[in-house]
């Protein structure tokens, strides 16, 4: 068993940069068991020794009110870590030491403080007496500037020494006023009689009881029984009457006062409180009007960058897979095997894989916005507009990314710290048309509406986006439980992102996309290849795909679409551009566009083409997206999203078709 090093700390303190500096590329991203909170693990090497580094969720405190805080707290509480590294932002000591005190108060001794962003603090004029700081806090303190690698070697060395038991600590813990202290000892006395005494720090349990921490109340109740518990709670109510406030406020307050008294012992110069460059930028970028204008400019250039760089790469990959298929195909004599390999595996997986450059670049763009501090401002600017539809401002980012590709967009929902918000954003996200659906929409609009193609394309986008917002409103009210979370967000100083962090981050995220291409998407591609080639190939009318299409025809007929459309839609589940390609296969004209266009024009009216484009946009998300929802939100929500979209597409398709018939007479 490797020894475990856990990283704790506030958000935006450079915890991830420290994590990367400790582990390099030897890392793995997954989820904490049972929840959709990201769990990052990596291996730290020191000489010939290896350690498992676990990145705990970034939190401001350790209450029971958010899942992130509970994960971090339980991890520490269960004693899972051999060393806890508390990463703190040295330019914002007061607030960061609050979490430190919450950790130390749990009675843990194996803590190291990484005093990060030390360069920034020094630039702001803060000066430390490190020796005094170590003495006052009672644990090792290592000044670091993770971005430039300063202090990392010493941090590693200290971690190893602590893991090997070579460091003795004497952590400081907050002291409260007499009344609170008396109550803490009183409750501790009562708890001493129970089995809790063996496993938990009684002082910590007592303090958490005073703040009416739900999880601790539940835990203590199991050991103490109702009678004694009521007695304690009665006492707490009396105290609250005395202070005329809930005790969580009083305790937090006294904790901050205690921290203030500590800081004055080891900080020799303080930063001036004045308007910073970030504040001046925020006057523009967080402004209700200029902010929105800047937001549009930022995202315009973001997509311009992603598509300018990514589209040629996508096309190159696409033709690479085509010629790969051809050249491999020429070596396979068995026709069935050739079909499976060339059309099924290389064709199907290749179609999805060719999107990899776009996905990766979107992640890069997103990581740059995140690490520069701009994401928080985008959330501020969009907060009011999004809130009208029951979504938080932060969900704007995943919604915008979805115009590129829904897969990174779904993964970006991780940035939302509330479970309800996260699931809701995930469910409506597929309704934002991605670039693959843009291909279908613009193709059909161009073929059938030469004079009004822009109008038609825009109207499909408008319907889809409108439905996304309405769906958010409806699903948020009736399907997903939970209160809307209040809007509280820290605005970190604007920073130039570290390229290393951006690239590692983007690679970690997009690696999951590649893994999916090798598993779920491969399986899906093979299945669809089978359906379209057995018992007879597509085009003969005897394939399973066509049979399914014909079975579905009575339903699609309600939207004015025949079995060919039904088959195309089925294949579109692999990748949405397949909707058009399938028509080519059915008509037996392959990729010759002109023949396809004239055949489609004969077979469909413009109204039917409009409906096909609309339904393609709305129905089942592609396999990669469904897989992403499953990873991020679980199987249940992947099913809900799929069924909801399918139902919505059917209803809207039928309505739009009949409305169209009515208008056109």
Partner 1 sequence: MLMYVRLSQMREGESGIVVDIQGGAGARQRLLGMGITPGVRVWVIKSSRPGPIIVAVGTSRIALGRGIADKIIVRREL
Residue ranges binding partner 1 (CB under 8 A):
59-61, 63, 65-66, 91-92, 94-95, 98-99, 124, 211-212, 245-246, 248-249, 252-253, 256-257, 271, 273, 275, 278-279, 282-283, 286-288, 376, 379-381, 383-384, 387, 393, 485-493
CB of 278 to partner 1, least distance (A): 7
CB of 489 to partner 1, least distance (A): 5
Nearest by Cα to 29 from 58, 59, 4, 53: 53
- C-alpha distances (whole Å) from 658 to each of 457, 606, 654, 655 are 20, 14, 6, 5
CB of 395 to partner 1, least distance (A): 14
DSSP letters spanning 216-277:
HHHHHHHHHHHHHHHHHHHHHHHHHHHHTS-HHHHHHHHHHHHHHHHHHHHEEEPPP----H
Any idea of the CA torsion for 74, 237, 101, 265, to the nearest 10 degrees?
180
Write the Ramachandran bin of 57: left for phi over 0, alpha for psi from -120 to 50, otherwise beta.
Answer: beta
State which residue, 340 or 369, has the beta carbon closest to partner 1. 369
CB of 292 to partner 1, least distance (A): 10
CB of 138 to partner 1, least distance (A): 22
Nearest by Cα to 569 from 468, 467, 660, 646: 646
Euclidean distance between CA atoms 573 and 535, whole angstroms:
21
Report residue 510 as tokens: 């997009």
Nearest by Cα to 310 from 275, 253, 342, 354: 354
End-to-end alpha carbon distance in the chain: 75
CB of 385 to partner 1, least distance (A): 10
Nearest by Cα to 37 from 80, 67, 10: 67
State which residue, 384 or 452, has the beta carbon closest to partner 1. 384
State which residue, 304 or 384, has the beta carbon closest to partner 1. 384
Euclidean distance between CA atoms 655 and 660, whole angstroms:
8
Residue 535 DSSP one-character state: B
State which residue, 395 or 406, has the beta carbon closest to partner 1. 395
State which residue, 282 or 546, has the beta carbon closest to partner 1. 282
- C-alpha distances (whole Å) from 346 to each of 370, 593, 615 are 35, 22, 27
State which residue, 227 or 483, has the beta carbon closest to partner 1. 483
State which residue, 381 or 411, has the beta carbon closest to partner 1. 381
State which residue, 418 or 512, has the beta carbon closest to partner 1. 418
Q: 3-class DSSP state for residue 64?
A: coil
CB of 351 to partner 1, least distance (A): 42
CB of 70 to partner 1, least distance (A): 12
Give the distance from CA 170 to its chain's centroid.
38
State which residue, 109 or 212, has the beta carbon closest to partner 1. 212
CB of 100 to partner 1, least distance (A): 12
Q: 3-class DSSP state for residue 111?
A: strand
State which residue, 489 or 495, has the beta carbon closest to partner 1. 489
CB of 206 to partner 1, least distance (A): 18
Cis-peptide into 279, omega within 30 deg: no
State which residue, 284 or 643, has the beta carbon closest to partner 1. 284
Q: 3-class DSSP state for residue 127?
A: strand
CB of 58 to partner 1, least distance (A): 11
């Amino acid at each position: 068993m490797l020894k475990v090093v856990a990283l704790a700390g506030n958000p935006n303190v450079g915890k991830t940069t420290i994590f990367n500096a400790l582990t390099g590329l030897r890392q793995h991203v997954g989820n904490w068991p049972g929840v959709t909170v990201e769990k990052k693990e990596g291996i730290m090497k020191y000489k010939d020794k290896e350690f498992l580094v676990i990145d705990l969720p970034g939190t401001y405190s350790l209450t029971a009110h958010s899942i992130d805080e509970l994960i971090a707290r339980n991890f520490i509480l269960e004693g899972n870590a051999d060393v806890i590294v508390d990463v703190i932002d040295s330019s914002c000591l007061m607030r960061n030491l609050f979490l430190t005190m919450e950790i130390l108060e749990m009675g843990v001794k194996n803590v190291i403080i990484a005093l990060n962003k030390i360069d920034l603090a020094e630039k702001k004029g803060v000066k430390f007496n490190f020796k005094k700081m170590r003495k006052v806090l009672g644990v090792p303190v290592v000044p670091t500037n993770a971005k430039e690698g300063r202090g990392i070697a010493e941090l590693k060395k200290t971690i190893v020494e602590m893991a090997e038991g070579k460091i003795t600590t004497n952590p400081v813990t907050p002291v409260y006023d007499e009344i609170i202290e008396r109550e803490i000892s009183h409750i501790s006395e009562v708890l001493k009689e129970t089995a809790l005494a063996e496993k938990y720090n009684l002082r910590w349990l007592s303090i958490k009881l005073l703040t009416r921490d739900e999880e601790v109340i539940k835990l203590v109740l199991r050991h103490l029984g109702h009678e004694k518990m009521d007695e304690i709670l009665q006492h707490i109510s009396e105290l609250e009457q005395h202070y005329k406030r809930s005790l969580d406020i009083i305790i937090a307050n006294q904790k901050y006062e205690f921290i203030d008294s500590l800081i004055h012992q080891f900080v020799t110069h303080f930063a001036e409180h004045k308007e910073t460059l970030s504040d001046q930028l925020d006057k523009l970028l967080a402004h209700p009007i200029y902010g929105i204008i800047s937001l549009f400019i930022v995202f315009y250039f973001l997509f311009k960058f992603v598509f300018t760089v990514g589209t040629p790469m996508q096309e190159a990959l696409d033709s690479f897979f085509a010629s790969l298929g051809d050249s491999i195909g020429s070596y396979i004599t068995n026709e069935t095997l050739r079909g499976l390999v060339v059309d099924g595996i290389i064709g199907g997986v290749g179609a999805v894989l060719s999107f990899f450059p776009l996905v990766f670049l979107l992640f890069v763009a997103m990581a740059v916005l995140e690490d520069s501090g701009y994401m928080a401002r985008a959330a501020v600017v969009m907060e009011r507009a999004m809130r009208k539809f029951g979504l938080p401002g932060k969900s704007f980012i995943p919604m915008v990314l979805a115009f590129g590709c829904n897969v990174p967009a779904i993964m970006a929902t991780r940035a939302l710290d509330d479970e309800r918000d996260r699931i809701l954003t995930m469910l409506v996200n597929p309704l934002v048309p991605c670039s693959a659906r843009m291909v279908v929409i613009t193709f059909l609009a161009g073929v059938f509406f030469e004079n009004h193609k822009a109008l038609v394309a825009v109207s499909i986008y408008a319907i889809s986006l409108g439905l996304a917002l309405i769906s958010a409103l409806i699903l948020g009210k009736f399907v997903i439980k939970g209160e809307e979370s209040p809007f509280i967000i820290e605005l970190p100083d604007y920073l130039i992102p570290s390229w290393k962090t951006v690239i590692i981050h983007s690679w970690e995220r997009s690696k999951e996309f590649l893994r999916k291409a090798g598993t779920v998407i491969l399986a899906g591609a093979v299945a669809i290849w089978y359906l379209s080639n057995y018992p007879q190939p597509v085009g003969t009318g005897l394939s399973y795909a066509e049979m399914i299409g014909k079975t579905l025809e009575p339903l699609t007929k309600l939207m004015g679409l025949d079995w060919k459309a039904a088959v195309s839609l089925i294949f579109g589940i692999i990748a949405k551009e397949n909707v058009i390609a399938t028509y080519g296969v059915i008509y037996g004209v392959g990729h010759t566009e002109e023949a396809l266009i004239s055949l489609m024009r004969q077979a469909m009216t413009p109204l039917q083409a409009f409906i096909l484009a609309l339904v393609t946009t709305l129905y089942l998300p592609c396999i990669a997206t469904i897989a992403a929802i499953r990873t991020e939100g679980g199987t249940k929500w992947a099913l809900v999203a799929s069924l909801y979209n399918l139902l919505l597409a059917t209803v809207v398709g039928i309505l739009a078709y009949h409305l169209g018939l009515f208008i056109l007479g």
